[in-house]
Amino acid sequence: QSTMRKSDPFALEFEYTQAMMAFIVLYDELAQVLLIGLGGGSLSKFCYKHLPQSTITTVEINPEVIAYRQTFCIPANNKRFKIIEADGALFIQDKINRYQALLVDAYDGQGLPSALNNDKFYQDCYQSLCNNGVLVLNLWRKDRQFRHILDKVHRCFDKKTVTIRCQSGNEIVFAFKNPQLPDFDEAWKKALAYQQQTKINFPQFLEEMVLSLKNNWFYTGQQSL
């Protein structure tokens, strides 16, 4: 599912992609960001525009998807932006403590590929992240595997997970490796600043993460602002 406004090709049009970017309010620096799944490139382009200090790498297994690169105004490969044709599950196997953020948005016509839905993959995701890194996973609540996937991620990341539920039926999972959260006031100020910059309601997303089901660690005790 991809759409793009020609008047603003770097904007995020879908609620679920906007929600996937909510993690940026928790970080001062994100040196290396990896995305598995290109689609129309909206997440990759957004990261490239709004995270100017970050190196953005996107891995896409399907060359036919990459072939639409110019159609969706995706930048050419350069020093801090690249698209690689590869199997994402294989790509991360030897990447240890490499990324501050790893975004997985890889549903196909049959659902989430089995290579991206198993204990080994989520363990590799964990190993590929730096301390205080985050895995961001787009799930579909009507997927029969939904609860099983949540359980796998929950176990692999020592229960350091929160979610955002989207009206579209998507559920965005944020799984943290040895999290070091900033003060809530600092995160809230970042959310407001990014909201002004992007017109995305990051303060609401931050609140939804705090209110996430079964959350007992992520800014617990915070009141809605």
Q: Which fold has domain 15-210?
A: Rossmann fold (3.40.50)
The full DSSP string for the chain is: ----BTTBTTS--SHHHHHHGGGGGG-S---EEEEE--TTSHHHHHHHHH-TTSEEEEEES-HHHHTTTTTTTPPPPBTTEEEEES-HHHHTTT--S-EEEEEE---BTTBS-GGGSSHHHHHHHHHHEEEEEEEEEEEETTSTTHHHHHHHHHHHTTT-EEEEE-TTSEEEEEEESS--PPPHHHHHHHHHHHHHHH---HHHHHHHHHT-TT-SSSSTTPPP-
What is the model's pLDDT at position 215? 87
Write out the DSSP string of 63-122: HHHHTTTTTTTPPPPBTTEEEEES-HHHHTTT--S-EEEEEE---BTTBS-GGGSSHHHH
| Contact by Cβ (8 Å): 160, 170 | no
pLDDT tens-place values along the chain, 225 residues long? 566 565 666 679 999 999 999 999 999 999 999 999 998 899 999 999 999 999 999 999 999 999 999 888 899 999 999 999 999 999 999 999 999 999 999 887 677 888 898 999 999 999 999 999 999 999 999 998 899 999 999 999 999 999 999 999 999 999 999 999 999 999 999 999 999 999 999 999 999 999 998 888 999 866 444
Cα torsion at 1, 69, 48, 16 (round to 10°)? Answer: 0
Q: Which residue type sits at 216?
A: N
- Quick check: 64 and 40 in contact, CB under 8 A? no
Burial of residue 111, with CB atoms counted within 10 A of its CB: 0-12 exposed, 13-18 middle, 19 or more buried: middle
Separation CA 168–CA 170 (nearest Å): 6
